[in-house]
Chains A and B, each alone.
Chain A
Amino acid sequence: MALINCRDLVLGYEDGIVAENINFEVNAGDYLCIIGENGAGKSTLMKTLLHLIKPAGGTLEFGDGLKEYEIGYLPQQTPVQRDFPASVYEIVLSGNLSRIGKRFFFGKTEKERTAAAMEKLGITDLKKKCYRNLSGGQQQRVLLARALCAADKLILLDEPVSGLDPKATDALYSLIRQLHRDGMTVIMVSHDMHAALGDSDHILQIGEHSQLYFGRTEEYVKSKAYFKLGLNQRPRDTRQVYNPDYKGE
């Protein structure tokens, strides 16, 4: 049984449908990239997966031991966070909240999880540092460590490299690859076609109010949906995706 199974899923809010006919599944160990233009429904899909909004139709099933609210979510940063006075440890620790149920305080297990997550992402030495004084890449690692505290099986990353410089971007991608190799299932929403094609093993493309493609990444580069993007002539130049007017150097 798959971790996540979507059949004829309709995405939307009370006042309208964003996209429909979404069909895909995520199995343990997958690395799925969700791509699509702005407004195509990527973030609505993400919110639906996180149970923040209800599906407007169709079915969304969790299986294989994955429970509701057990997805490790890496959201995009908000302006409030950038100058937030909190230590790295406090933020990572807060990822354990879903585990303490009705208890008010964290116990030994949660603290050990926090330490393990920080160790895994190489931020143990930043433990007492203030979040607002960290670099963009370090901040993302802190939030990723928090996501690991919340999740055992699956992490969901929302544009994880937006705002990072190329070096930090590469470092974060390789960290995500490492987590994936260690057995974590990864879903990443991304604009970055290059990384999507290079790292993922499955692609889900949504646009024009429906699903344009779902399948293995190596099949995707031969698909109509990929051809339509116009990237096949220039597969390495991802700048076209960001900026349709970009004509190359």
Chain B
Amino acid sequence: MIDTLIHFLSYDFVRYALIVGVLISLCSSLLGVTLVLKRYSFIGDGLSHVAFGAMAVATLFSGVEKTYIIMPVTIIAAVLLLRAGQNAKVKGDAAIAMLSVGALALGYIIMNVFSTSANVSGDVCTTLFGSTSLLTLKADDVIMTAVFSLIVLVLFIIFYHRIFAVTFDESFAKATGIKVSAYQTLIAVIIAIVIVIGMDLVGSLLISALVIFPALSAMSVIKSFKGVVVFSAVLAVTCAVIGMFISILAKTPVGATIVATDIAAFIICSVAGRIKK
């Protein structure tokens, strides 16, 4: 088994996939804590569907790098969704459901009608659930993911205390002069970036699992915010690596296997949390 893994590690594409997987799960778990605590998890879900729609549209423009279309569309949708979610709770919910289902349906139509590819259902499946094999990653993809991940990481670290304050108590944060809506917009933009870069690996349907599970796992066992953030990051990276190895050995789809590993970790953590109480 070890031999098989070492053999696989000698391939560039496996190493690329590992780097990408680690970076994406790291970024999404950092953000997950804020998202879950602020009850914004649904936004991640809604956004991933928007990103699917954008991806379908992007396939129409074969000459353009897809990310240049998907990224701005998703960022704009993120900002709009966060605003909608705040103004009226119930309406915001419905708006997100509408937007995400709408984007899925339209995206599917576009992919079917305009696609030049011979295997449309295969393309759709890849977009929804991520690549079935790791072969598709190129050095360029890795560099792009690394750059975006670095941006997310740096933003998160330098604004850590402000993100904490806004997450814990918006009214107090406002009263101390923090521009709360600016930070919410920042959070929305970071979510959008994470979702777009994560789509290739785990697909648009599964990306919100990477955001939510590590955060929830950490929250059930850890007692401080910093601890929760660090633990969920470590857990997410570990799960990603384990999931990818399992996927190589058992020849299961990458994204789904990583998510399954996250679920297993969540179950272990919540049991541990119960016992500790």
Contacts and interface: CB of A to CB of B under 8 A. Distances in A.
Interface of A: 50-52, 68-69, 71, 73, 75, 78, 80-81, 84-87, 89-91, 94-95, 97-98, 100, 104-106, 128-130, 133, 143, 146-147, 150
Contacts of B161: 94, 97, 100, 104-106
Given A80-B38, A84-B37, A130-B223, A69 B177 contact: yes
22 contacts: A50-B174, A52-B171, A52-B175, A73-B175, A73-B176, A80-B168, A84-B168, A85-B218, A85-B225, A86-B164, A87-B227, A90-B164, A94-B164, A94-B168, A94-B169, A97-B162, A97-B173, A98-B176, A98-B178, A100-B161, A133-B223, A150-B175
A81 B176 contact: no
A28 to B, nearest CB: 20
Given A73-B172, A84-B225, A104-B161, 18 more contacts: A50-B174, A50-B175, A52-B175, A68-B177, A73-B175, A73-B176, A75-B175, A84-B37, A85-B222, A85-B225, A85-B228, A97-B161, A98-B177, A104-B158, A105-B161, A147-B172, A150-B175, A150-B176
A87 B178 CA distance: 21
B39 interface: yes
B178 A97 contact: yes
B223 A85 contact: yes
B219 interface: yes
Nearest to B165: A94
Contacts of A90: 164, 224-226
Interface string B188-231: 00000000000000000000000000000011001111111000
Contacts of A81: 168-169
Looking at chain B, what size class is its interface with the partner chain?
Answer: 20 to 34
Interchain residue pairs A-B with the least CB separation, the first 4: A69-B177, A130-B223, A98-B176, A87-B224
A104 B156 CA distance: 11
Contacts of B218: 85
B114 interface: no
A98 B179 CA distance: 11
Contacts of B164: 86, 90, 94
B168 A52 contact: no
Given A69-B177, A94-B161, A97-B176, A87 B169 contact: no
Contacts of A69: 175-177
Contacts of B224: 85-87, 89-90, 128, 130
Nearest to A87: B224
B175 A71 contact: yes
Given A84-B37, A85-B219, A106-B161, A75 B172 contact: yes
Contacts of B178: 97-98
Nearest to B225: A86
B173 A87 contact: no
Contacts of A91: 168
A106 B228 CA distance: 20
A97 B167 CA distance: 14
Contacts of A78: 169, 171
A89 to B, nearest CB: 8
Interface in B124-179: 158-162, 164-165, 168-169, 171-178
B207 to A, nearest CB: 23
Contacts of A50: 174-175
B60 to A, nearest CB: 41
B68 to A, nearest CB: 31
A5 B204 CA distance: 55
A94 to B, nearest CB: 5
A90 B225 CA distance: 8
A216 to B, nearest CB: 28
